[in-house]
Amino acid sequence: MENNQSEKPKRGGKREGAGRKKTTCKTYCFNAPEGTVQILEKVPQKTAFIIAAVEEKAKREGLI
């Protein structure tokens, strides 16, 4: 009987380039009061709007 333990099938395991690509983004969730919800519902690009608002506020506060 021949011993074929050195020849393993090449199935499974990690593949180069597989999986989700890494990003520099981080997700934040928050509970918005009703007034804020009404404003955000009118905005077509909510993410861009929120980012701009946070950056503007940070500039006014001297954080950046």
Q: Which residues of 11-27 are buried (b: 16+ CB within 10 A; e: fewer)?
A: eeeeeeeeeeeeeeeee
Per-residue pLDDT, 61 = 97
Per-residue pLDDT, 2 = 59
- Are 32 and 40 in contact by the 8 Å Cβ rule? The answer is yes
For the chain, residues with pLDDT lower than 70 are 1-6, 8-9
Per-residue pLDDT, 62 = 97
Per-residue pLDDT, 3 = 58
